[in-house]
């Protein structure tokens, strides 16, 4: 049974259609990329799924989520937002925020939650997690804040994780660590990940399947492998060609530097 089913989701913002009849489903165990250019509607899709539409928007269609929290009967969805500046509590230390989430999700003591929080911070690439745990969000860099938000989302142990461009502020080595942490998390058979990105290389490293969004429409979907080999829609062809050219350019530059 699907964890998330989206049927004919249409969203208008101030009278303009921004998401047009979007349908897809996500099954437990799946990591799916939502790929598209800037402004194509990726973040609006995430907001609609999370029940956080912008003021001035109207939504039609159906969103059905099957995973529920045993305790609250609320759907268990965690999100990592693109803009992390307001995502953390400014007056509660990072470690304590993690403890609060972990305690609400089964950690048996504050001590155990603190240790689990440090392990999560290490998994998103902090080499000295206890230093970060004692900081406030205002004392963190953008990339550090992004990683703390990821650790908090992982701490929630939600069945569905929606991650909106979670690695954009990170260097390649830290990015690889974070992608591994997301992969490990979503590897549990009951979980699924919707990974929003404009970067096909990152999507290919993490996800099995992709939905291609262009101007608010899903124009194509399939396995990343099939999309790379045989893109059908002109937008997908352009995306895949650009990705190949970029890779070629990077290797040419590397050769030129080495030579
Ligand atoms: N707060 C807002 N107010 C008005 N229009 C908005 C707002 N947020 C998004 N939009 C509009 O909705 C459309 C889709 O925006 P969205 O943020 O979903 O794009 P995106 O695919 O996430 O892009 P990016 O890769 O740049 O994050 C765009 O045309 C944008 O102008
Ligand atoms: Mg966005």
Q: Would the CB of 234 count as within 6 Å of ligand 1?
A: no
Are 165 and 259 part of one and the same domain? Answer: yes
pLDDT of residue 71: 52
Q: What is the distance in A from the centroid of ligand 1 to the CA of 38? A: 8
Q: Has this prediction a pTM greater than 0.85?
A: yes
Q: What is the distance in A from the centroid of ligand 1 to the CA of 87? A: 18
Write the residue with the smallest CA distance to atom 6 of ligand 1: 13
Query: Is 81 part of a structural domain of the chain?
Result: no
Q: Would the CB of 138 count as within 6 Å of ligand 1?
A: no
CATH code for the domain in which residue 208 is found: 3.40.50.300
Query: Is 182 part of a structural domain of the chain?
Result: no
Name the pLDDT band for 69 (thresholds 50, 70, 90).
low
Q: Which two tokens stand for residue 36?
A: 């598209």
Are 148 and 249 part of one and the same domain? Answer: no
- CA of 44, closest atom in ligand 1: 18
Domain residues for the domain of 124 are 88-157
Looking at per-residue pLDDT, the higher value among 53 and 250 belongs to 53
Residues 6+ apart with CB under 8 A from 254: none
Q: Would the CB of 44 count as within 6 Å of ligand 1?
A: yes
Are 60 and 92 part of one and the same domain? Answer: no
Query: Is 204 part of a structural domain of the chain?
Result: yes
pLDDT of residue 49: 93
Are 50 and 168 part of one and the same domain? Answer: yes
Are 110 and 228 part of one and the same domain? Answer: no
Closest CA to 201 of 30, 4, 10, 33: 33
Are 152 and 109 part of one and the same domain? Answer: yes
Are 103 and 152 part of one and the same domain? Answer: yes
Query: Is 201 part of a structural domain of the chain?
Result: yes
- CA of 165, closest atom in ligand 1: 27
pLDDT digits (tens, 9 = 90+) for 227-241: 989 999 999 999 888
Query: Is 241 part of a structural domain of the chain?
Result: yes
Are 167 and 193 part of one and the same domain? Answer: yes
pLDDT digits (tens, 9 = 90+) for 122-167: 999 999 999 999 999 999 999 999 999 999 999 999 999 999 999 9
pLDDT of residue 213: 96
Are 18 and 40 part of one and the same domain? Answer: yes
pLDDT of residue 243: 78
Looking at per-residue pLDDT, the higher value among 245 and 189 belongs to 189
Write the residue with the smallest CA distance to atom 9 of ligand 1: 44
Query: Is 48 part of a structural domain of the chain?
Result: yes
Are 166 and 246 part of one and the same domain? Answer: yes
Q: Look at the chain and report how many structural domains it folds into.
A: 2
Query: Is 83 part of a structural domain of the chain?
Result: no
Write the residue with the smallest CA distance to atom 27 of ligand 1: 38
Is residue 70 over pLDDT 80?
A: no
- What φ, ψ does residue 98 adopt, rounded to 5°? -65, -40
Closest CA to 147 of 80, 100, 235, 196: 80
- What φ, ψ does residue 199 adopt, rounded to 5°? -105, 105
Is residue 67 over pLDDT 80?
A: no
Are 131 and 249 part of one and the same domain? Answer: no
The DSSP line for 118-143 is: HHHHHHTT-SSHHHHHT--GGGS-HH
Average pLDDT of every residue of the chain: 91
Query: Is 179 part of a structural domain of the chain?
Result: no
Count of positions (residues) in the chain: 259
Residue 240: helix, strand or coil by DSSP? helix
Are 166 and 52 part of one and the same domain? Answer: yes
pLDDT of residue 66: 85
């Amino acid at each position: 049974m699907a964890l998330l089913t989206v049927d004919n989701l249409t969203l208008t913002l101030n009278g303009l259609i921004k998401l047009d009849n979007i349908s897809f489903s996500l099954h437990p165990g799946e990591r799916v990329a939502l790929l598209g250019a800037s402004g194509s509607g990726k973040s609006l899709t995430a907001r609609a799924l999370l029940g956080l539409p912008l003021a001035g928007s109207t939504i039609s269609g159906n969103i059905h989520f099957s995973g529920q929290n045993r305790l609250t009967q609320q759907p268990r969805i965690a999100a990592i937002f693109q803009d992390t500046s307001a995502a953390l509590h400014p007056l509660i230390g990072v470690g304590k925020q993690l403890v609060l989430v972990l305690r609400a999700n089964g950690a048996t003591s504050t001590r155990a939650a603190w240790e689990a929080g440090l392990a999560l911070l290490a998994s998103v690439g902090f080499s000295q997690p206890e230093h970060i745990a004692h900081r406030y969000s205002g004392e963190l860099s953008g990339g550090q804040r992004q990683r703390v938000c990821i650790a908090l989302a992982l701490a929630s142990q939600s069945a569905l994780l929606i991650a909106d461009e979670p690695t954009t502020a990170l260097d390649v080595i830290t990015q690889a660590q974070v992608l591994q942490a997301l992969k490990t998390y979503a590897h549990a058979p009951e979980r699924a990940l919707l990974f929003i990105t404009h970067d096909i290389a990152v999507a290919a490293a993490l996800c099995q399947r992709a939905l291609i969004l262009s101007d608010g429409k899903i124009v194509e979907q399939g396995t990343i492998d099939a999309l790379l080999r045989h893109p059908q829609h002109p937008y997908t062809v352009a995306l895949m060609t650009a990705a190949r050219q970029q890779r070629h350019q990077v290797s040419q530059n590397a050769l030129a530097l080495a030579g």
